[in-house]
Chains A and B, each alone.
Chain A
Amino acid sequence: MRTVVFLSLAVLGASGGELSVSHAMKQLGELHHFSPRSLINFLGRALRVKWLWTGIVLLALGFFSLLALLSWADVSFVIPATAMGYVTGALGARFLLGERLTPSRWAGIVLVSAGVALVSLS
């Protein structure tokens, strides 16, 4: 039971966190110049976006759930199971961020998800 709870927290925390970060960065607008100065300026502006902090909190929740989970559950079970995060992430991109996912992008995501599961089995 604790495995199911922590697995759900790990997957939804990671997906939700990355979706929030993505949303925050889109609000900020694209970076064109990559000098250290404009990069620091860019990160400084990013830290003032509310969605970035939502994302960081969710990523931290997912990260610590994963760490805790890895302390008792087998890596060869945990990482394949977290591969479903690619599907929850894609669903979030479609329905929360409103991104357009073409059939070939969906197919690629499903293949990647299955591939990650296979790689970490064994």
Chain B
Amino acid sequence: MTRNPQWKTYALLVPIVLFAAAGNVLLGKGMKQIGDAPVLSVAAFGTIFLKAFGNGWIWLGIGSLLVFLVAFMVVLSWADYSFVMPVSAASYALVPLLSRWLLHERVSSMRWAGVSLICLGVAMVTRTPASGGERA
């Protein structure tokens, strides 16, 4: 059983959710600039990866995902993976909320339904204790 109080788990889940969302958005933006691989060949993948490593958005995305990974590692030193994993999915609910509030984009009713399901699921998971512990 953990000695860390519940609030420390949540204090780490906040950066996990924020940096996962930022990382995904930034990587998506970077990859859109790079474009499609027309054929499946080693040379085509080589070109994509070279272009990816020259793209600033990709590096910002990778940086965000590194912050995410460190917070993820620290919280997993006491919390169950089956607790952290679904709760960190709140980052997927954050993207439509932010695009509505900050970018004033129209969000489809299907995406709102998805946001509601995620929030409901996260609420259910957070009602269970964060660490039941691995059995050996």
Residues on A lying within 8 angstroms of B by beta carbon are 2, 18-19, 21-23, 25-26, 28-32, 34, 39, 42-43, 46, 52, 64, 67-68, 70-72, 75, 86, 89-90, 92-94, 97-102, 104-105, 107-122
B98 CB within 8 Å of chain A: no
- Once the chains bind, are A19 and B31 in contact (CB under 8 Å)? no
- Once the chains bind, are A111 and B117 in contact (CB under 8 Å)? yes
Interface of B is mostly: helix
Question: A102-B128, A112-B89, A116-B92 are known contacts. Are A22 and B31 too (CB-CB below 8 A)?
Answer: no
The one of A2, A22, A108, A120 in contact with B76, judged by C-beta atoms closer than 8 angstroms, is A22
- Once the chains bind, are B40 and A70 in contact (CB under 8 Å)? no
B93 CB within 8 Å of chain A: yes
CA distance A37 to B120 in the complex (A): 38
CA distance A64 to B58 in the complex (A): 13
- Once the chains bind, are A100 and B132 in contact (CB under 8 Å)? yes
Chain B residue contacts of A109, Cβ below 8 A: 82, 85-86, 121, 125
CA distance A101 to B76 in the complex (A): 16
CA distance A117 to B89 in the complex (A): 11
B118 CB within 8 Å of chain A: yes
Question: A98-B134, A112-B89 are known contacts. Are A89 and B82 too (CB-CB below 8 A)?
Answer: yes
- Once the chains bind, are B113 and A118 in contact (CB under 8 Å)? yes
